[in-house]
Amino acid sequence: MTIKALRDQSLPMRHIVHVRNHIISTDISVEEGGSDAGPSPHDLYDASLSACKALTVVWYAKRKNIPLENVEVTMERDDKEERHGVYRLTATLHLTGELTDAQRAELLSVAEKCPIHKLMTAVTTEITTVLG
């Protein structure tokens, strides 16, 4: 799969990211020299984890016939030590439905194993940057 980020010439830093048939606007804050015309790359990184946890929990609950009505994931970022190699994210799951304590614990465990969580914590990512 190819993802493209193309600069929007109408704003100083805004880029339009094309993922298959989807378009995502990304920018940086006004304080950083952007226009805040979209989530920053850090926001998208954090959001990918939130979305993955939510989708994984819903997918699992459906497969196991767990009476989950809704899931909301709130992500909190602590990037104070990012330059020292520590980037902290805290994901809080808000689950609704007639769930037992055991089912809630099971869904929490599943959320901790979502593919993006694993990718961020247990996989070595190799990145090659080339000129086209």
Task: Kindly report, residue by residue over 91-109, the tens digit of the pLDDT.
Answer: 999 999 999 999 999 999 9
One-letter-per-residue 3-state SS of the chain? CCEEEEECCCCCCCEEEEECCEEEEECCCHHHCCCCCCCCHHHHHHHHHHHHHHHHHHHHHHHCCCCEEEEEEEEEEECCCHHHCCCEEEEEEEEEECCCHHHHHHHHHHHCCCHHHHHHHHCCCCCCCCCC
How confident is the model over 37-60, as pLDDT tens digits? Answer: 999 999 999 999 999 999 999 999
